[in-house]
Structure 1
């Protein structure tokens, strides 16, 4: 049955960042991308001690868009465009790197005071070849602006693209589907075959796709053209992602993504040389380029 449904199933690799864990399923040796998605991290769930917090120091990106979506907690985002934006559960932060952007992510002060919680999904999306070097941009879409739709005992928030006839206002650069699907006990919902590439990720609870129980910390990449039914007897929560297949492969090294390896080498040189813009209000520290990055492509 699994061979009829899935191209590949990707188990997460887990990274302990000190106080909380990140579980990464993309990129992987078996599969680099699902539609435009080339990075898929589940953050937490975690609770830090009072006075502690998440401090991701300023770091650069090129030729991609980052999408941050929280289930619990809050993150303060700052970037080199001058953006200062708090994100909370149900909203989406879309940061388009284009030819280059620098940002930081930190726990807000009010969260630190009582011990922050953090749970969510962070993804990277490749930009189409002709748009890799566009101007950087930032977009925050609050939770009430994202469509909430119901079908078959499930309630889905459409984060990007279109699902079951409802479209999110979030900017997309390629055909994209991204949704947070909450399954009530007894839910039965369709996973249609409209997108070139699709994947499901079980966040919590339980769910079964065409008789195959979905396991946590696993990204299930569906075969193209296969329609399926997602069921949950006890209730659960799953993320659906995917979209247009990319004809041109992407190279990934650390925080840099591009269709051209030489562009990544240029970004490395520019970050070492201090040529990227600084983050207003958070310019005193930064993350140096690592000798061995945790995020790499697998050509």
Structure 2
């Protein structure tokens, strides 16, 4: 029964930005993390009007890694290391903030005339103890570095870590699993039970877990050690995420994650004083530190 498979169901907070919606499942008052995942956003599907585009101006991060994965559309990433990469469906962008990085995310110029579409996931991974102040880095992993597992009409693209006997090329700073699962009507797939903490999100279609229907965009935290079976009652798409449990709590304020509140306060002052590095080619704008952060940790 579903009570055996699922220990917690988190209903995301939906932010309606007019042209599209963002659904934020983590962090919440009920739960801050699943493995290293401390921030989980699903955005879209959406199509903007011709000539418009998404423009997330330069902003900072510390002590975390961002993971961007798209189902549709394209996003151009730039950062203060000089990285510049357009991500499209089938690839992963991993940006390790470590001691501090600044990046922007915008619709590519060549997509704006027709009205860009976008649909996907952005997640943050807390960096583990001893690695929070890593040197910043950026990794783009194309589709051929993300193995595909197929069985009986079901498939899973492994984005991070080892699942179903295969391992993604994406770097991991702590034990991490992340996968994009596709089901056809009548197909099924077992969920590996090795990770300390795991969660599922249905992002399209209709699916069941151990025979019980899943609601779209809810985050289902799975019982440790239990190996449930996913099945599709229609074509369906789900994201599986998790990894090793963190022994030390993490604090979140706006775009900053750390085990130390003092470190977050220092990052806030550094951003206000413009002490973070600039992005080559995108250094004329920035997002100010908000008076009331949109992402906060909960007691």
Contact 2:164/2:192 (8 A) holds in 1? no
Q: How does 1:35-46 map to 2 (within 5 A)?
A: 35-46=35-46
State the alpha-carbon separation in 2 of the partners of residues 233 and 43 from structure 1.
24
Deviation at 1:192, TM superposition (A): 2.3
Question: Which deviations, in whole Å up to 9, do the C-alpha atoms of 1:233-286 show, x marking residues without a partner?
Answer: 222010000000000111000000000111000000000000000011000010
Distance across 1 between alignment mates of 2:2 and 2:181: 22
Give structure 1 stretches of 5+ with no counterpart: none
Is the contact made by 1:187 and 1:235 (CA closer than 8 Å) also made in structure 2?
no
Alpha-carbon displacement from aligned partner over 1:180-237 (angstroms, at most 9, x marks no partner): 0000111111012110000010010111001221100200001111111111122201
Corresponding residue for 2:197? Answer: 197
Deviations 1:144-195 (A, max 9, x none): 2211111242111111001111100000011111000000111111012110
Q: List runs of 5+ in structure 2 lacking aligned partners.
A: none
TM-score by length of structure 1 reads: 0.98
2:29 corresponds to 1:29: yes
Q: Is this contact kept in 2: 1:53–1:107, CA < 8 A?
A: yes
2:64 maps to which residue? 64
Contact 1:47 1:117 in 2 (8 A): yes
1:129 is paired with a residue whose SS is: coil
1:140 to 2:154 alignment? no
Aligned to 2:260: 260
Give the aligned partner of residue 287 of structure 1: 287
* Residue aligning to 1:85: 85
The aligned residue for residue 211 of structure 2 is 211
SS of alignment partner, residue 49 of structure 1: coil
**Which of 17-26 and 263-272 deviates more?**
17-26
Does the CA contact (< 8 Å) of 2:2 and 2:211 recur in 1? no
1:13-49 CA-to-partner distances (Å, cap 9, x unmatched) read 1112342211000111111000000111101110000
Whether the 8 Å contact between 2:176 and 2:242 is mirrored in structure 1 is yes
Which residue does the alignment assign to 1:166?
166
1:128 is matched with: 128
- Secondary structure of the corresponding residue to residue 206 of structure 1: strand
CA contact (8 A) 2:158 2:180 kept: yes
* Deviating more after overlay: 116-125 vs 144-153: 144-153
TM-score by length of 2: 0.98
Which secondary structure does the structure 2 equivalent of 1:265 belong to?
helix
**Matched residues, number:** 299
Q: Which residue of 1 aligns with 2:297?
A: 297
Over aligned residue pairs, what C-alpha RMSD do you find?
A: 0.9
Q: Distance in 2 between matches of 1:151 and 1:190?
A: 10
Question: Corresponding residue for 1:52?
Answer: 52
User: How far apart, in 1, do the equivalents of 2:133 and 2:247 lie?
Assistant: 18
Matched residue of 1:177: which SS?
Answer: strand
4+ residue segments displaced more than 4 Å? none
Partner of 1:150: 150
Q: Separation in 2 of the partners of 1:62 and 1:24?
A: 20
2:245 match? 245
1:111-138: per-residue Cα shift (whole Å, max 9, x none)? 1010000100000001011000010000
Give the Cα separation in 2 of the matches to 1:111 and 1:129: 40
1:181 equivalenced with 2:184 (yes/no): no
Q: Is 2:58–2:104's contact at 8 Å kept on the other side of the alignment?
A: yes
